[in-house]
């Protein structure tokens, strides 16, 4: 087991090196002079020279990469060209917002998707089964940004129930420590802020969670269906166990594996979806920051944020793989 873990962790290193090379290459592959592209045609020669200097574009390429990777390893991803803020610092400041959104989304997806899948499998062919699977099918086919806009239209514009975007109303005075607003407000005992933060979180979390929810529901259903026809389930029924015990202790326990895999596979979708959801809901996370930086042609931010998200993605996939091996003793550690 330990050998498998070490081996699996080691495979990540060349991939991350490749990722860093690709991300580094991005800026260098831009046609034309990067500094001019960033600052626009009307930039003064001094400014162009300053940006070239800041990005180290005057040095040989291999030296530029060594500097880039050396700095990145020390957690320095350069500075924004426009606002001169350090990219790493800004990333870390915005990261909790993205995590809060993504975690809430996956939580909603699990809380609704798994029970819906289980009930669909047990009552296969029922109206509930048909309805929830139809819903799941339309759920996976919906663009997440459209769902977000529709939710805003319905719950904010028409019904005036929830805010249209942001994490807290502009008038709220609140100093966050960890920048996980729900956590901070609870720790400080500020329930008014907690409630407001929750109200802002609901719509984006539902929008972002909808597709994973649909996929998890379908996967849980099919995994449960497969398990429910197994011999040991019939045995469990035959020895007089209650339906509940059969489903939870025997069926669900063995249906977990595909469900965990599918949850793991949602990480990429969540990160991609977060870019769109944050844009729709003006959510001050990494995704929206990245999109804004692309509009502004602020390439150090694009480079830093892309690298950061890719590292998170690779890291979570690694964790899921390890978890998978840990949960299923049948997997051979070769």
Please report, as ranges, the residues that interact with another protein according to CB under 8 A: 14-16, 18-19, 22-23, 26, 29-31, 124, 137-138, 140-143, 145-146, 149-150, 152-153, 157-158, 164, 222, 225-226, 267-269, 271-273, 275-276, 279-280, 290-291, 294-295, 302, 306, 309-310, 313-314
Q: How far is 266 from 214, CA to CA, in rounded Å?
A: 11
Q: How far is the CB of 81 from another protein (least distance, A)?
A: 14
Instruction: Please answer whether residues 144 and 270 qualify as being in contact, where contact means their C-beta atoms are separated by less than 8 angstroms.
Output: no
Q: Which is nearer to another protein, 178 or 292 (CB)?
A: 292
Q: Which is nearer to another protein, 30 or 245 (CB)?
A: 30
Q: How far is the CB of 191 from another protein (least distance, A)?
A: 30
Q: Which is nearer to another protein, 182 or 291 (CB)?
A: 291
Read out DSSP for 232-264?
HHHHHHHTT--HHHIIIIIIIHHHHHHHHHHHH
Q: How far is the CB of 5 from another protein (least distance, A)?
A: 19
Q: How far is the CB of 230 from another protein (least distance, A)?
A: 15
Q: Which is nearer to another protein, 168 or 271 (CB)?
A: 271
Token reading at 298 = 């602020």
Read out DSSP for 59-110?
S-HHHHHHHHHHHHHTT---B-TTT--BHHHHHHHHHHHHHHHHHHHHHHHH
Q: How far is 244 from 189, CA to CA, in rounded Å?
A: 39
Instruction: Please answer whether residues 124 and 225 qualify as being in contact, where contact means their C-beta atoms are separated by less than 8 angstroms.
Output: yes
Q: How far is 193 from 184, CA to CA, in rounded Å?
A: 9
Q: Which is nearer to another protein, 244 or 332 (CB)?
A: 332
Q: Which is nearer to another protein, 80 or 185 (CB)?
A: 80
How many residues in total does the chain contain?
334
Q: How far is the CB of 248 from another protein (least distance, A)?
A: 22
The CB-based long-range contact list for 36-42 (8 Å cut-off, 24+ gap) reads 37/297, 38/81, 38/297, 38/298, 38/299, 39/81
Q: How far is the CB of 176 from another protein (least distance, A)?
A: 26
Q: Which is nearer to another protein, 41 or 46 (CB)?
A: 41
Looking up tokens 């901070």, which residue turns up? Answer: 184
Count CB-CB contacts under 10 A for residue 294.
Answer: 13
Q: How far is the CB of 282 from another protein (least distance, A)?
A: 11
């Amino acid at each position: 087991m330990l050998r498998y873990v070490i081996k699996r962790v080691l495979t990540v290193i060349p991939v991350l090196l490749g990722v860093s090379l690709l991300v580094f290459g991005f800026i260098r592959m831009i046609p034309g002079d990067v500094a001019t592209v960033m600052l626009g045609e009307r930039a003064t020669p001094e400014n162009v020279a300053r940006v070239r200097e800041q990005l180290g574009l005057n040095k040989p390429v291999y030296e530029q990469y060594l500097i880039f990777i050396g700095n990145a390893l020390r957690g320095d991803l350069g500075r924004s060209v426009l606002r001169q803020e350090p990219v790493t610092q800004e990333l870390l400041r915005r990261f909790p917002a993205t995590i809060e959104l993504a975690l809430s989304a996956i939580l909603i997806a699990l809380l609704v998707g798994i029970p819906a899948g289980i009930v669909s499998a047990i009552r296969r062919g029922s109206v509930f089964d048909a309805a929830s699977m139809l819903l799941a099918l339309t759920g996976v086919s919906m663009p997440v940004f459209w769902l977000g806009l529709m939710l805003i239209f319905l719950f904010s514009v028409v019904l005036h129930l929830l805010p249209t975007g942001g994490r807290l109303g502009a008038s709220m005075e609140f100093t966050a420590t960890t920048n996980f607003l729900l956590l901070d407000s609870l720790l400080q005992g500020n329930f008014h802020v907690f409630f407001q933060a929750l109200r802002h979180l609901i719509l984006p979390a539902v929008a972002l969670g909808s597709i994973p929810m649909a996929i998890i529901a379908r996967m849980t259903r099919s995994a449960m269906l497969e398990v429910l026809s197994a011999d040991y389930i019939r045995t469990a029924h035959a020895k007089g166990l209650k339906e509940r015990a059969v489903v939870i202790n025997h069926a669900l326990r063995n249906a977990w594996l595909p469900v965990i895999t599918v949850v793991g596979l949602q990480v990429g979708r969540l990160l991609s979806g977060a870019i769109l959801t944050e844009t729709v809901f003006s959510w001050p996370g990494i995704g929206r920051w990245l999109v804004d930086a692309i509009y502004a042609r602020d390439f150090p931010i694009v480079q830093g944020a892309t690298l950061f998200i890719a590292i998170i993605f690779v890291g979570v996939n690694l964790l899921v793989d390890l978890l998978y091996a840990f949960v299923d003793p049948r997997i051979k550690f070769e």
